[in-house]
Amino acid sequence: MEKLKIIGGSRLCGTVKISGAKNAALPILAACLLTPEDLILHNVPDLADVRTMLRLLAGMGVRCRREGEDVILQASDIRSTVAPYELVKTMRASILVLCPLATRFGSARVSLPGGCAIGARPVDQHIQALRRMGAEVEIDHGFVDLQSKRLKGCKIVTDMVTVTGTENIMMAAVLAEGDTIIENAAREPEVVDLANCLRAMGARITGDGTSRIVIEGQPALHGAEHTVVSDRIEAGTFAVAAVATRGDVLLSAARPADMTVVLDKLRAAGAEVTTGEDWIRIRMDRRPLAVSVRTEPHPGFPTDMQAQFMAMDCIAEGTSHITETIFENRFMHVPELQRLGADIQVEGHTAVVNGVRRLEGAELMATDLRASASLVIAALAAEGESDVHRIYHLDRGYDRMEVKLSALGANIRRLSE
């Protein structure tokens, strides 16, 4: 196992290039199953989750080639439509192969993702939609077992806004007979990026980025080339780290248009935020002011930024309220932040954070992906040395985070333990 050793107190200064988005790359990789022709992807981040998805696809017979940030996929000789438990259990996004397999091959056996550290991860909406489109779906020994003739388009109103659900249903619909309308659809930029890739493959989709997506099913899709959208959560994480360390950081290859609420909250914390079309500069020369956040589906404040903001609020002037509405157990960073000296009380879905003047380095245990990022930020802002253990969580979603932070002046090293 590996850990990060961080000596806090350095201001982050300089330029960091933001990678392609994990949460866009994963559904787009799964989309290769929709065509026998080549899908050529650029700006694919080098992450544990991406490697897991490539292993899953390769196990089905997809030819996968990685050349730097490019990935070339060809699903012309699929020999298996099974997604085994061993791979799905390490990455919930594996469920994204279900609908491409269903709609192109009429057969799939995909392990249920089950819950994970941050909460239950149900997929009932995906299954209900597939049944409405005519598939026979059973749950068998922890697997979603599906058989279908050509799926039939229909109107689907999801019970709640679901990002992966919207992505899966969109992929089912692109090869279905007739039109599918998704009401209450997720509006996340990653949903739009998947729609852009599917359109490049010949799909007919309108309304992505709104809560009503219309898909006109096609008999087949073809090969395409697509560049994965910039990771707004990685950008947000580096932006918060800049604010927490009173730094001056330019995020290049970032998309401020996808991050309005996060950037507004950083301005409310006292940061000077300037933006161009594909860059963001964050300057901070004072102790942050406390900012309260409440997580909501896009365009609201993203749940994937909640833990990082809590780290910043720990050293802020004043009291903040952080409310998590998407996941029932996404406060596991709280006891670890308390180990650094943070003053936090959890009351139901809300954490009340009283900012303290200083945190002190400690041994810390990462519990999930964004919790890990929050501990790294807090350790960078703390006085003295911290060790962040179990960073395999961090590696699921951040491309060489410690290398990027070192280049900005952080004192951070990856060590074996």
Ligand X SMILES: C=C(OP(=O)(O)O)C(=O)O
Q: Enumerate binding residues for ligand UD1 (CB under 6 A).
A: 23, 120, 122-126, 160-165, 186, 188, 297, 302-304, 326
DSSP-derived letter for residue 114 is -
- Count each helix (H run) and each strand (E run) in the chain, helices first: 14, 24
Instruction: Report the C-alpha gap between 332 and 2 in whole angstroms.
Output: 20
Q: How far is the CB of 303 from ligand UD1 (least distance, A)?
A: 5
Question: Is 92 known as a binding-site position?
Answer: yes
Rounded to 5°, the CA angle 40-56-327 comes to 100
Sites for ligand X among residues 311-370 (CB under 6 A):
369-370
Instruction: Report the C-alpha gap between 195 and 208 in whole angstroms.
Output: 7
Residue 397 contact, options ligand UD1, ligand X, none, Cβ 5-8 Å cut-off depending on partner type: ligand X
Q: How far is the CB of 327 from ligand UD1 (least distance, A)?
A: 6
Does 231 interact with ligand X (rule: CB under 6 A)?
A: no
Q: Which helix (H) or strand (E) holds 335?
A: helix 333-339
Q: How far is the CB of 368 from ligand X (least distance, A)?
A: 6
Closest to ligand X by CB, 93 or 280: 93
Closest to ligand X by CB, 73 or 369: 369
Contact partners, residue 80, CB within 8 Å, separation at least 6:
59, 60, 61
Does 262 interact with ligand X (rule: CB under 6 A)?
A: no
Closest Cα to residue 236, out of 291, 309, 182, 186? Answer: 309
Each residue 393-412 as x (binds ligand X by CB under 6 A) or -, in order, gives ----x---------------
Question: Is 304 known as a binding-site position?
Answer: yes
In this structure, the dihedral spanned by the alpha carbons of residues 307, 308, 313 and 314, taken in order and rounded to 10 degrees, is 80
154 flagged as catalytic: no
Report the b/e string of 62-82 with b at 16+ CB within 10 A: bebeeeebebbbbbeeeeebb
Q: How far is the CB of 60 from ligand X (least distance, A)?
A: 20
Closest to ligand X by CB, 23 or 196: 23
Question: Is 285 known as a binding-site position?
Answer: no
Instruction: Report the C-alpha gap between 11 and 149 in whole angstroms.
Output: 59
Rg of the chain in Å (alpha carbons):
21
Q: How far is the CB of 152 from ligand UD1 (least distance, A)?
A: 20
Residue 125 contact, options ligand X, ligand UD1, none, Cβ 5-8 Å cut-off depending on partner type: ligand UD1
Question: Is 123 known as a binding-site position?
Answer: yes
- Binding residues for phosphoenolpyruvate, as ranges, are 22-23
* Catalytic residue positions, numbered: 116
Annotated binding site for UDP-N-acetyl-alpha-D-glucosamine: 92, 121-125, 304, 326
Which positions touch ligand X (CB under 6 A)? 23, 92-93, 116, 304, 369-370, 397
